[in-house]
A and B are shown apart, each in its own frame.
Chain A
Amino acid sequence: MNAAIYRRRRWRNRAVMTLASAAAMSGLLVLFLILGTLLVKGVGSLSPAVFTQMTPPPGSAGGLLNAIYGSIVVTLVGTLLGAPVGILAGTYLAEFGRDTRLATVVRFINDVLLSAPSIVIGLFVYTVMVVRMGHFSAWAGGVALALLVLPVVVRTSEDMLRLVPDSMREASAALGSPRWVVILKVAYRAARAGIITGVLLAVARIAGETAPLLFTMLNNQFMSTDMNAPMANLPVVIFQFALSPYKDWQALAWCGALIITAAVLALNIVARALSVARTGSES
Chain B
Amino acid sequence: MNHIASVSIRSSTAALDVPAAALRWHNLRDVALREATRLSAILVLVLLGGVIVSLIYGAAPVLRSEGLSFFTTEAWNPVTEKFGALGPIYGTLVTSFIAMLIGIPVSIGVAIFITELCPRPLKRPIGTAIELLAGIPSIIYGIWGLFVLAPFLQKEVQPLIISVFSGVPVFSRLFAGPPYGIGVLTAGIILSIMVVPYITSVTRDVFETVPAVLKESAYGLGCTTWEVVRNVVMPYTRTGVIGGIMLGLGRALGETMAVTFVIGNAHRIAPSLLAPGTTISAAIANEFTEATGALYTSALIALGLILFLITFLVLAAARYLLLQLERRAGK
Contact = CB atoms under 8 A, between A and B. Distances in A.
A10 B226 CA distance: 9
Contact of A91 (B37, B138, B224): B37
Contacts of B142: 239, 242
Contacts of A209: 137
B47 A113 contact: yes
Contact of B139 (A109, A121, A151, A239): A239
B263 interface: no
B257 to A, nearest CB: 5
Contacts of B133: 27, 30-31, 34
A215 B281 CA distance: 13
Contact of A207 (B33, B43, B137, B247): B137
A128 interface: yes
Interface string B266-303: 00000000000000010011001100000000001100
A178 B135 contact: no
A111 B37 contact: no
Contact of A85 (B9, B43, B140, B284): B43
Interface string A11-51: 01100110111111011101101100110010000000000
A97 B34 CA distance: 9
A55 interface: no
Contacts, number: 282
B256 interface: yes
A177 to B, nearest CB: 4
Contacts of A113: 44, 47-48, 51
B250 to A, nearest CB: 5
Contacts of B20: none
A261 interface: yes
B11 A177 contact: yes
A260 B137 contact: yes
Given A17-B226, A86-B40, A120-B307, 10 more contacts: A12-B224, A17-B112, A28-B130, A116-B254, A175-B12, A178-B29, A183-B33, A257-B139, A264-B136, A272-B128
22 contacts: A12-B226, A17-B112, A17-B117, A20-B117, A22-B109, A23-B105, A34-B133, A89-B37, A92-B34, A92-B38, A92-B40, A106-B45, A115-B315, A116-B308, A116-B311, A120-B55, A179-B33, A186-B4, A235-B257, A243-B146, A250-B147, A261-B137
Chain A to chain B: the 8 pairs with minimum beta-carbon distance, closest first: A208-B137, A117-B254, A23-B109, A92-B37, A176-B12, A88-B40, A13-B224, A175-B8
